[in-house]
Amino acid sequence: MRSDIVKRGLERAPHRSLFKAMGYTDAEINAPLVGIVNSQNEVVPGHIHLDTIVEAVKAGVRNAGGTPMEFPAIAVCDGISMGHIGMHYSLPSRELIADSIETMAMAHGFDALVMVPNCDKIVPAMLMAAGRLNIPTIVVSGGPMLAGKTKQGNISLSNMFEAVGSVQAGTMSEAELLSCEENACPTCGSCSGMFTANSMNCLTEVLGMGLPGNGTIPAVYAERVRLAKQAGQTIMSLLDKDLRPHDIMTKEAFMNALTVDMALGCSTNSMLHLPAIAYEVGIELNLDLANTVSARTPNLCKLSPAGPDHIEDLYMAGGVQAVMKELSKGNLLHLEIGTVTGKTVGENIAHAVNSNPKVIRPLDKPYSQTGGIAVLRGNLAPDGCVVKRSAVAKEMLQHTGPARVFESEEAVSAAILGGKINRGDVVVIRYEGPKGGPGMREMLAPTSAVAGMGLDKDVALITDGRFSGATRGASIGHISPEAAEGGPIAFVNEGDSISIDVLAGTLILHVSDEELTKRKESWNPPAPKIRHGYLARYVKLVSSASTGAVLKA
């Protein structure tokens, strides 16, 4: 066993004495040591209940003959950190989490790991760590929140952000806003739409690193606790078989993940996280693959914010396995590859049933013949940019308008709420990329304000930063190279004409190459916004959004 390095032999008597100081018996020390990574805290609604999930995991490990040993991981709530300095730390926290898990696992010689995350950056961070360490690992998340219930229908966190714009536009009263505030987030769990957290929890299931149901069983259901116990038992089976993340997270598994991503209409942030996870297992996941996969993959679901359905509806319809079953009818998935269940993808989905074709459209009756995410290129984004196509109004799939240029999220939010943005405008938000932000902030506040004020069918937003999984509308993020690296977005002037063609996959700035060269010659990069602490170090190492914004020495 790998843990023998900390417990076997005469020279390890001091180490064993430290285990005994914590109350471990000889039998527990001699059993396989399973690290349980717990990201529970009292700050994030998706994580506040994870102690319950972890206790269930421990029970499963003990039942199967292992010794569970819990240790913590941090977690940032994107919703609470949104719109202020806190959002600079969200994406960078992904690297801290992966590094800390690597540190704990290598320092203490665990034989295997069970990862217990739930929200935006924590899920991909744990998968990155799993790929980096390559010891038997399984992921079991805390599950999605139930949707909020109102007289007008189900709502979620994204409706709250949009409601702020509605109040500013005079179409909603403050009393109605308070009512939404009281009801939008009724339970613990990851926010109830197909936002980044639930996107990554679903894709964990597709990658084969989580058990069937991992992405959709609601946080408050007893079934989630049973799933956690099963995960604890399953890790011991993975250890016996020496089945490791590199055996499961293969190129074919990532192609499956991209395919299901397109069918579900997941968050654009998946285009940051999947390449970053792939990087840790030595696989290059080029952004252009997204368009290749999208061209052959129908969009089967329109979950909030793209449509009225929520994760609980996907769960009731048969979950991720039912979506995969639909896709398999068109030979769109690799069915022969292995998963943490010990079975192949094909065996896992053999008995899956789509019980609600209104939530999961049949393969021959999709919302569109192409997938929910598109990668655009052009002289404004030579290395690519990303849009959630399934959440864009038909009116905005092709659009040309004048550039309205802003140097930060705060500036554009003030302009939108101040009524200074006109129908037809293309709002450019720059110096918000991985280096320029720093940290590539999510900008749900401005996109939600646009939607709340009824402008989402008339105004486009483009940025070298990123948009939340809760964003809808013509919101194009991840523009690469970013402004801070001298990308073309740095040289856009107020009033320049910009053309967006989501259908053709292009983003064009109507300025000549000669003029862009001239503008670049007179460009002076701004000073770093943050010069001390973790983010100052992060800026020196972070790579482009087009390669997953991973840290490279």
Residues involved in catalysis: 468
Residue 527's contacts (CB-CB under 8 Å, 6 or more residues apart) are: none
Work out whether strand 497-501 and strand 506-509 pair parallel, antiparallel, or are unpaired: antiparallel
Q: Does 526 sit behind a cis peptide bond, omega within 30 degrees of 0 on the bond before it?
A: no
Q: What residues does 462 pair with on adjacent strands?
A: 428, 476
Q: What is the CA radius of gyration of the chain?
A: 23
What sign has the CA pseudo-torsion 379, 381, 384, 385?
A: negative
Q: For residue 60, what is the enclosing H or E element?
A: helix 50-63
Residue 336's contacts (CB-CB under 8 Å, 6 or more residues apart) are: 344, 345, 346
DSSP 299: B
- 374: closest CA among 467, 507, 499, 503? 503
Q: Using CA atoms, how far apart are residues 399 and 374, in angstroms rounded to an integer?
A: 15
Q: What residues does 113 pair with on adjacent strands?
A: 35, 137
Sheet holding 67-72, edge to edge: 67-72, 33-38, 112-116, 137-139
Structure tokens at 50: 């994870």
At 437, the amino acid letter reads G
At 57, the amino acid letter reads V
Question: First CA to last CA across the chain, in angstroms?
Answer: 32
> Whose structure tokens read 């010794």?
67
Whether the CB-CB separation of 340 and 248 falls below 8 Å is answered with yes
What sign has the CA pseudo-torsion 416, 418, 419, 425?
A: negative
Q: For residue 476, what is the enclosing H or E element?
A: strand 475-477
At 456, the amino acid letter reads D
Backbone angles phi, psi at 311, to 5 degrees: -60, -35
Whether the CB-CB separation of 44 and 76 falls below 8 Å is answered with yes
Backbone angles phi, psi at 534, to 5 degrees: -60, -45
- 198: closest CA among 183, 208, 184, 213? 213
Q: Does 481 sit behind a cis peptide bond, omega within 30 degrees of 0 on the bond before it?
A: yes
Q: Using CA atoms, how far apart are residues 475 and 480, in angstroms rounded to an integer?
A: 15
- With b for 16 or more beta-carbon neighbours within 10 A and e for fewer, the 413-444 pattern comes to bebbbeeebeeebbbbbbbbbbbbbbbbbbbb
